[in-house]
Amino acid sequence: MSSPRPTLHMLCGKIAAGKSTLAGRLARAPATVLLSEDQWLARLYPDEIASLADYARCSARLRDAMGAHVETLLRAGLSIVLDFPANTVANRQWMRSLFENAGADHRLHFLDLSDQVCRARLSHRNASGTHEYEVSDAEFDAFTRHFVPPSKEEGFETIVHREL
């Protein structure tokens, strides 16, 4: 009896849509590792991310460092929940290269929630103080301007989540 192929789980959704919550659930599966961009960025670049430009610079460095590692874990038979935002075509192309290079399966989890729901969740998250980053309404707007929902033409196996 053969084991299922390792899977790269990718997460697409606006800030506070529930990507990290879903990531935690997915990571409970056997032989599955969770890699969280927010946790890595907060520890590697404390007090260095104060703008969208800072985030873009630091996250690009992190992707560059983590890519080969993710591929190695997939090749070793582990599934990965990549809690990095798959929110642009370019980020999804990078993620595609990871599972393709490793010969792994994939699932793109698209959290399709309205700005209104995400803003309410963000307000609650900011008030709780439990997240690595507090995000203002202006920052939410700036990040959301760059958000591109996945399209069929991209060819991902997509699972749409409309509530969590």
32-36: strand order across its sheet: 32-36, 79-85, 7-12, 105-111, 158-161
Helices (H) and strands (E) in the chain, counts: 6, 5
Is 62 within a domain? Answer: yes
Residue 61, domain CATH: 3.40.50.300
In the prediction, which pLDDT does 129 show?
Answer: 78
2 within some domain: no
Q: Is residue 57 part of a domain?
A: yes
pTM: 0.92
Q: What confidence score (pLDDT) does residue 81 get?
A: 98
List pLDDT tens digits, range 102-137.
999 999 999 999 999 999 999 988 888 787 778 788
pLDDT at 1 over 60: no
Range of the domain at 80: 7-161
CA dihedral 56, 52, 40, 26 (to 10 degrees): -90
Per residue in 24-67, pLDDT (tens digit) is 999 999 999 999 999 999 999 998 998 889 999 999 999 999 99
Q: Which residue has the tokens 């590792």?
A: 33
Rounded CA-CA distance 105/122 in Å is 32
40 located within any domain: yes
Determine, yes or no, domain membership for 1: no
Is 44 a member of any domain? yes
Overall average pLDDT of the 137-152 stretch: 93
Number of domains in the chain: 1
